[in-house]
């Protein structure tokens, strides 16, 4: 099931951001720079926001928000390990959405789970 359909089924309300306001929307996956609010769909339930749509040029629509955090580890001298948290790139988010179920992606977002980068590189 697509993340937008999943959110609508969970009671999220779809909107498009047009002229500074959230305008109710059907949640149709129709993205275009040629229409107002056509870049993304914003879904809200009890102040939990999701945004899905066009984010980078020449890339397919993707989950834009909430940001997914990944952890990268680097071995340093002396046996130390440096761990850095950063926001996943759009390509990493797209990969995450292919290897995890929609429900798992939803839970990762809602619980603000930090994913080790090897979970994305090694199919979880």
User: 120 is in which domain, residue-wise?
Assistant: 66-124
User: How far from chain centre, in Å, is Cα 93?
Assistant: 6
Same domain, yes or no, for 77 and 55? no
Residue 62: its pLDDT value, please? 94
Q: Identify the DSSP state of 56.
A: S
pLDDT digits (tens, 9 = 90+) for 96-117: 999 999 999 999 999 999 998 8
Return d(Cα 44, Cα 64) in angstroms, integer.
14
Same domain, yes or no, for 46 and 90? no
Contact (Cβ atoms closer than 8 angstroms) between residue 112 and residue 67: no
Return d(Cα 40, Cα 29) in angstroms, integer.
9
pLDDT digits (tens, 9 = 90+) for 2-19: 999 999 999 999 999 999
Structure tokens at 49: 């926001």
Give me the number of domains the chain comprises. Answer: 2
């Amino acid at each position: 099931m697509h993340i937008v359909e999943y959110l609508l089924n969970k009671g999220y309300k779809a909107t498009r951001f047009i002229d500074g306001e959230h305008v109710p929307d059907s949640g149709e996956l129709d993205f275009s720079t040629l229409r107002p609010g056509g870049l993304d769909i914003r879904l809200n339930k009890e102040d939990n926001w999701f945004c899905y749509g066009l984010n980078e040029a020449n890339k397919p629509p993707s989950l834009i928000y909430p940001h997914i955090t990944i952890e990268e580890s680097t071995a340093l001298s002396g046996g130390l390990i440096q761990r850095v948290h950063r926001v996943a790139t759009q390509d990493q988010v797209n990969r995450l959405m292919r290897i995890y179920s929609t429900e798992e992606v939803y839970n990762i977002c809602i619980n603000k789970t930090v994913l080790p980068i090897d979970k994305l590189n090694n199919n979880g």
